[in-house]
Amino acid sequence: MAVVRPFKAYRPQLDLVEKVSALPYDVMNSEEAREMVIGKPYSFLHVDKPEVDLEPGIDVHSEQVYLKASENLKKMINYKVYMQEEKPCLYIYRQIMNGRPQTGIVACASIDDYINDIIKKHELTRADKELDRFNHVDYTNANTGPIFLTYRHKDEIDALVKNWTETKTPVYDFKSEDGVSQIIWVIDEEEVINKLSALFAGTDYLYIADGHHRSASAVKVGLKRRQENPSYTGDEEFNFFLSVIFPDNDLYVMDYNRVVADLNGNSSEEFMNKASEKFDITLYEGEGQFKPEVQRTYGMFLEGKWYKLAAKEGTFNMKDPVDRLDVSILQNNLLEPILGIDDPRTNSRIDFVGGIRGLSELERRVKGGMKVAFSMCATTMDDLMDIANAGKTMPPKSTWFEPKLQSGIFVHEL
């Protein structure tokens, strides 16, 4: 039984929401964020990337940074940039990118569901990234960026959402700086809130699509607050964290492609000969780049030419949800044994290019100094859920979701 709970959100005043809303903290570095906030005093990056208001070169993990985040959020609340809902509500959050919508429920999820594996994970987390978000949540006393959750869609939930969006007026309807439409409805009728909560309670699992570090950190802050408040009841806000919950059939997972700096001491001919032991390789004679449309096929850009690669029998185990992933097949049969990319998380000779940038970016990177690039099929939502259900983890850089959830539209105070 998944807990989906309404909450009294802090959200921007109607005339300020466009100025507050910002891309999530982890899609830009500090220098880029400093440029992005020039002339934008209301941008939520002042909370999510508070080093922009401190001297350049500051350690972004210093206490001063987290104190600044807390200060900036309090100012936005005190100066009435934000209003708080009078009673707990759920929200509908629709994003439209290139004409394609995805529509989810904004709510709080339970830290106990995370602990008890009702909320399924598919990625490992890094201690340093966890600690950063832990401190940010703890110092600001708030979840400032929603966790991106998904579930196997239910017709009953779809029908409730459809009815609400067709009969009610959204409170926000604007385009963010990345050109994506952001449309928000408030669900403030107790009967509908209870129906949605009950329908989610009948859902076996929720799945983290994106936001593993943020969710792990939110849970750890909640556990810390429980230790600090031994008489807690479980109903306090620190027992829950901010989420947007999308049905699986609404989500668009993009390809996550690879570029490698060199051929690991091989000549192009030697590399092709070794790769052909595990892949059928043919020259692509079509126009433009080769974008694979069938799983276990790949595009390869080498020496100014595109090739099509197809994994041979015996290179993967169809019964293993991780081993059969396209990213695993490429890693296990080519990147590691031939190109020497032992750990793609730490090896400096490999880089990753999200599909949002297109395959021309792969060509540009190779022509700019990298040696070889690989285009891939996107990982599917079924793949993600199968791996999470098996208690396994995906290889790094397996999924790229678009559009990105905006930060600053909702704040959940602990």
For residue 392, tell me if it sits in a domain: no
Q: Hey, how many other C-beta atoms are within 10 angstroms of the C-beta on 391?
A: 10
182: β partners:
95, 174
For residue 394, tell me if it sits in a domain: no
CATH of the domain at 327: 3.30.1760
Q: How many domains does the chain have?
A: 2
Q: What is the pLDDT of residue 26?
A: 86
For residue 365, tell me if it sits in a domain: yes
Q: Are residues 196 and 180 in the same domain?
A: yes
On whether the pTM is more than 0.75, the answer is: yes
Q: What is the pLDDT of residue 67?
A: 98
Q: What is the C-alpha to C-alpha distance for residues 392 and 320, in angstroms, rounded to an integer?
A: 10
Q: What is the C-alpha to C-alpha distance for residues 277 and 4, in angstroms, rounded to an integer?
A: 50
- The structure tokens listed for 129 are 């990234």
For residue 396, tell me if it sits in a domain: no
Q: What is the C-alpha to C-alpha distance for residues 160 and 245, in angstroms, rounded to an integer?
A: 14
Q: Coil, strand or helix: which one is 195?
A: helix
**H or E stretch covering 364:** helix 360-367
The CA-atom distances, in angstroms, between 56 and each of 60, 68, 71, 128, 204 are 10, 14, 19, 21, 47
Give pLDDT tens digits for 50-62: 999 999 999 999 9
For residue 383, tell me if it sits in a domain: no
Q: Are residues 215 and 362 in the same domain?
A: no
The CA-atom distances, in angstroms, between 39 and each of 34, 35, 312, 367 are 10, 9, 55, 36
Q: Are residues 224 and 268 in the same domain?
A: no
- Ranges of residues in the chain with a pLDDT under 70 are none
Taking the mean position of all CA atoms in its chain, how far away is CA 122? 12
Q: Coil, strand or helix: which one is 156?
A: helix
H helices of 325-409, in order, are: 326-330, 360-367, 381-389
Strand 400-401 relative to strand 240-247: parallel, antiparallel, unpaired? Answer: unpaired
| Structural domain range at position 315 | 256-377
Q: Are residues 235 and 303 in the same domain?
A: no
Q: Are residues 193 and 311 in the same domain?
A: no
Q: What is the pLDDT of residue 268?
A: 97
For residue 330, tell me if it sits in a domain: yes
H helices of 57-202, in order, are: 63-78, 111-115, 127-140, 155-167, 190-201
For residue 393, tell me if it sits in a domain: no
DSSP 214: H
